[in-house]
Amino acid sequence: MRPVWLAWALALAAGSFAEPAPPGDRKDAKIAADAVQGESSAASGEGVEYTLFNGQKVPPIEELTMANFETSVKNGNWWIKMYSPYCGHCKAVAPLWQTIYEFYYTSDPLQGRTKSDKPDLDSPNSFHGYYDFHFGTVNCITSGDLCDKLEIKAYPTFNLYKNGEFVEKFVGAKDMQGFSKYLEEKLEGIKPGSRPLEGVKVPKAGAKGTDADATPDVSEAKDKNPAAGAAAGEKHNEKAKEAATSSSAVTPSETAKSSWKKPTPKKGPTPNPNGISVELVPESFQKLVTNAQAPWFIKFYVPWCPHCKHLGPVWSQMAKEMEGKLNVGEVNCEATPRLCKEAHVNAYPTIYFFRGGERVEYSGLRGLGDLISYTSKALDSDVKQVSAAEFKEMEETEEVIFVYFFDHATTSEDFVALDRLTLSLIGHAKIVKTDDPIMANRFRISTWPRLLVSRDGRPSFYNALSPQDMRDFRKVLQWMQSVWQPLVPELTATNAKDILNGHYAVLGILDRSRPDEFLQSRRELKNAALEWMDKQTQLYQLERQELRDSKQLRIEEAEDRDDQRALRQAKSMVISITEDSFRKGVHFAFVDGVFWERWLRSTYGIDVTKGERVIINDEDNRRYWDLTDTGNYIVPSRTSILETLPRVVSNPPRLTPKSTIGAFENVIFQIRNFGTYHPILSIIVLIGAVVVLFTVMKNGSRIKQFGGSNGYIRLDGKEGLLGHGANGGGKAD
């Protein structure tokens, strides 16, 4: 019987190899409805050592497993196919995948600029060496644990990884044209300007060769610069020569020329086609917002919040106005608390603008006009390249413009860092880039890249000590936040803290109901601001020059005396004075005296209907000045402001201030300030007060006992307390 059982076992084993595995072999495996075509033994590397394409030997696509996945994909770009050998779609797509791999693997990325007719597939000038781009496959049957870890739910799935990090899932057409179009976009992003302008003509599936010089039947019409690609290739060739002795491929650097442009995103569906605010839940939020590039304006709210209820109709109207322009959504934090917690929502309502997985909080007013103004600016926040003439036109409408100067040596890393800044600048200022020599001459630019802000034509430069400083997002943004206000902005609820706190604020209280007077007053404020800044710059330069002269005198004196110790000390002196630390800053602003009437009347006692006024406010010390040294009110006049301001900012002020708070409140404020600025002395005083209080309380009982019925004080020979008898019946003289 044993031979019979053995025969049956062999027959069953053979049947298991011949029949497809049932769909339930992997609990999470399913065939995607949108997946087409599939897998072949050649792509799996079964029994195939090499294939031939255009007469060149091509190694099999690398098969990745749990053991080698992380170590393989941790460097470079990897496009990986996750498949099942039993999946019909996988089997159909396999020859396409193999052919597209062979086509690109044997391609010449330098387009004939190599020394030989055919590229050396093992050199840094090969496709893999030049782009650092690799193909891979994962068999989800033999490496089920790896596919579970990568959360693969359908076959075939094509994922892109960069330096070990997941980038995105391929969702295009699974045919030769779809694969090639996707690859061309990615390669163009890695090496801007290196891909053919018309695109490439891909072979048919299963082909063993193609004409490398053939052009596609339909041009891709891509925004590419062949000259930039040629220059990038030549530069890469130089690096390849240096690495010729090394067997390993050189990781290419990304070089962008002056024509580098941000890859144009694919046109997706029309945003907000119905003009409504979409209710989002965690699943739809992740799909539509987190994992997408389309911008979204989203409100986080709870139904019981009064402010949320008040915002509701305005939000719906704004969504209607944004029909076909911007996606608008809302999240109920009572129904989805975890999503709101992950979004760092701490108050209701909270409004975020999302784009490409990044976000910025909207902190402006919640009127319909304010929301529409913000969203309009958000949709027009990309970094545009401008000429000198275009920049001059912008200056007529924009008060604050950040300008990024670049040249042919500026890298793609610099441009990527620049693009990150746009989100934070929405609603504050415009940012543009230029390589126009006229612009460079106007602002005296001699090093690139360079960043400056132009406020009413007055430039202020970001001081970068190294190229890395230009890519330091937080450092650059911190500088931008310090200068993105106009020279004379309007004081609003959103910018009040930035303008008032930590600065003297020259505040013009103006009346919009009188347009001519209003415009004239604004012009006077702006002229005063420009003249004050010029004077402060001159004083700062004079002070710095005096410090330099003093240092030079010390050096010369030490040299004359041949005192090496004094010479070293003099040379080691560091002039650390900066323009920001030279003197407490002064900000200029204006406020609508009619709109803020109650606040102005209660804080400063000013009624704009009696005439426009100017005050100099010191919010840190709760004080202000509204009179000149002659006792007259400060008015919106350049002369009146500039005559009074130096007397106010001097230390101590030469004019008597007024308080913005009451007497009792001022005492509490002064005590708090004393503790803030003199913490050690405050602790000493507090300890002393506690000791005195403790001593008084400890000796209080003795004093009481001493003055009681059993004690007495003798005065002028009379008994009793102050001459009274012991029985209290005596009479004092």
Residues belonging to the active site: 305, 308
Find how far residue 322's CA is from the centre of its chain: 25
Compute the radius of gyration of the chain from its Cα atoms: 38
At 630, which amino acid appears?
T
The Cβ of residue 61 has, within 10 Å, a number of other Cβ atoms equal to: 22
Phi, psi of 488 (to 5 degrees): -130, 80
Strand partners, 616: 506, 625
What does the alpha-carbon distance between residue 63 and residue 65 come to, in Å, rounded to a whole number? 7
Whether residue 356 contacts residue 293, with contact meaning beta carbons closer than 8 Å, is answered with: yes
What does the alpha-carbon distance between residue 435 and residue 443 come to, in Å, rounded to a whole number? 12
Is residue 605 left, alpha or beta, with left meaning phi > 0 and alpha meaning psi from -120 to 50?
A: left
Q: What is the DSSP string of 590-620?
A: EEETTTTHHHHHHHH---GGG--EEEEEEGG
What does the alpha-carbon distance between residue 520 and residue 291 come to, in Å, rounded to a whole number? 51
Among 248, 194, 201, 204, residue whose Cα is nearest residue 226? 194
Sheet holding 400-405, edge to edge: 384-385, 430-434, 400-405, 450-455, 458-461
Whether residue 273 contacts residue 319, with contact meaning beta carbons closer than 8 Å, is answered with: no
What is the DSSP secondary structure assignment for residue 289, as one 8-state letter? I
Task: Report strand pairing: 296-301 vs 154-155.
Answer: unpaired
SS3 636: coil
